[in-house]
Amino acid sequence: MLLGATLALEFAVLRRLAFDGITIAIVLAGATLGFNTLSYTSITERNYDGSSHLDYIRFIAEHGQLPDVLSCGVCGHPPLYYSVAAAWSKVMRFGLPLELCLQWLSLLLFFGFAVFALLMIQRSTENDVIRWLGAALVVFWPSSVLHSVRVHNDALASLLMLAAVYWTVEWDRHGRERDFALALLASALSLFTKSSGYAVVTILFVATLLRLLSKQEPWRSGVLRFAAAGGIVAVSGFLAVGLREARWPRQDCPAVLGSACGGRYVPPLPDTLQRFISFDPFEFVRRLETTPLDPFPHRFLKSTLFGVLQLGDEFAGEPYTTLAKAMSLLLLVMLLSCSIGALGMRTASLRKVRIHLVAPAIFFAFLLAFRLRLPNEYHEDFRHIFPVLVLFCLGYVKSIEHFGRRSKIFRHAGVAVGLLMVTSSVAFFVRAP
């Protein structure tokens, strides 16, 4: 019943947005795979602090107020996601187990994420095959499947951050006041969800600065935007965390990063420059799991596929190891293609896609700063900057489109690599009922 209702809702929304039939079929197939994954994934599997998120939600639902920041592992996080989840659980349970109810909410939030991804891809290319491949990559990417069923504030944070990036791109292209206002609103709401939202706030400020420097924005208007955005963001940040700051034993780090400052695990060896720049592609492909002492690039790239937590017994065995190796190799091929595509871009084209290029750099810089400030194995996880997946997949299909005009071999090979990634991911996660 839940699957049928979800598919009907998603079909209606996608038809209303005028997406074509194949795109709709891709998204509905992704939702079906998500429900299949949900059937064998509990709230704590592949979600190391899932029980703490559940405690936060349950407390709000039962008491109608926020818990003490130290009463659970994540209770210092901003409250928007937990308030939404608590309200959802009270209205929509209808006899459903609480865990299933919340996992269903995560699937619906991921659908919202997918819609913004589809809109970004649709506005970047008119080639049907490229659009379909980009949609399939986002929907069926391994970490997308994992992300879609987690009960975690990342479910809402990723949606709001991608929405902020989408509207920032639209504002940079067209200069419409509405797009700037929506980007600012999504950025502010992301701060009420998770500290990762500071990255999209920075992206919006950088976009404003770029428009000023390129004379697309009058100085008076640009300064006013800076002031208005800065004021709204400051108020949002204060309300999200500042009002609760006095209840922390320490008041510096939690004021910005919340519960993450409590720490969970510190690697026994101090970080060195070598650990942040070394990378062995053969070792990366060979192993499914990572260890805390692996180099940062190894752990970060592997987390784009499977996260930093061990996947568990459901994924033990030779078939899954083989599929994981294949996806790791395909990821490296796709990264190489994106790099070649970026280097081959003409200067005149950079202005059209500058936010697409700036945004991943800013996201990664924030993740790296987070990791350096709090040396924790869970702070090397791609999920903190999950919207980068959409920009990466968009960059990959655009590189196929660009170089495919010169070489049919490159085009067919690029499409084949993308399809192999999609089919490998589906085979990795699907289970018989």
pLDDT digits (tens, 9 = 90+) for 52-103: 899 999 999 988 888 887 777 788 788 899 999 999 998 887 778 888 999 9
Instruction: Report the distance separating Cα 183 and Cα 269, nearest Å.
Output: 41
What per-residue confidence (pLDDT) applies to 266? 53
Q: Does position 347 have pLDDT exceeding 80, yes or no?
A: no
What per-residue confidence (pLDDT) applies to 221? 73
What per-residue confidence (pLDDT) applies to 138? 97
Instruction: Report the distance separating Cα 403 and Cα 1, nearest Å.
Output: 45
Please compute the mean of the pLDDT values over residues 24-41 and round it to a whole number. 94
Beta-carbon count within 10 A of 336 CB: 11
Name the residue with tokens 């592997």: 302
Identity of the highest mean pLDDT range in 74-78, 321-325, 346-350: 321-325
Across the chain, mean pLDDT equals 86
The more confident residue out of 255 and 175 is: 175
Q: Does position 258 have pLDDT exceeding 80, yes or no?
A: no
Q: Encode burial over 242-268: b for 16+ CB neighbours within 10 A, e otherwise.
A: eebbeebeeeeebbebbbbbbeeeeee
Contact status, residue 127 vs residue 413, Cβ threshold 8 Å? no
Dump pLDDT digits (tens) for 377-389: 778 889 999 999 9
Domain coordinates in residue numbering, the chain = 2-429
The more confident residue out of 356 and 246 is: 356
Burial class (CB in 10 A: 0-12, 13-18, 19+), 415: middle
Q: Does position 110 have pLDDT exceeding 60, yes or no?
A: yes
Q: Does position 232 have pLDDT exceeding 60, yes or no?
A: yes
What per-residue confidence (pLDDT) applies to 246? 47
Say whether pTM exceeds 0.75.
yes
Q: Encode burial over 108-122: b for 16+ CB neighbours within 10 A, e otherwise.
A: bbbbbbbbbbbbbbb
Q: How many CA atoms lie within 13 A of 145 on its CB side?
A: 31
What per-residue confidence (pLDDT) applies to 311? 85
129: confidence class by pLDDT, cuts 50, 70, 90: very high
Please compute the mean of the pLDDT values over residues 41-52 and round it to a whole number. 84
Dump pLDDT digits (tens) for 288-307: 888 878 888 999 999 999 98
Measured CA to CA in angstroms, residue 296 lies from 105, 280, 386 at distances of 32, 11, 17
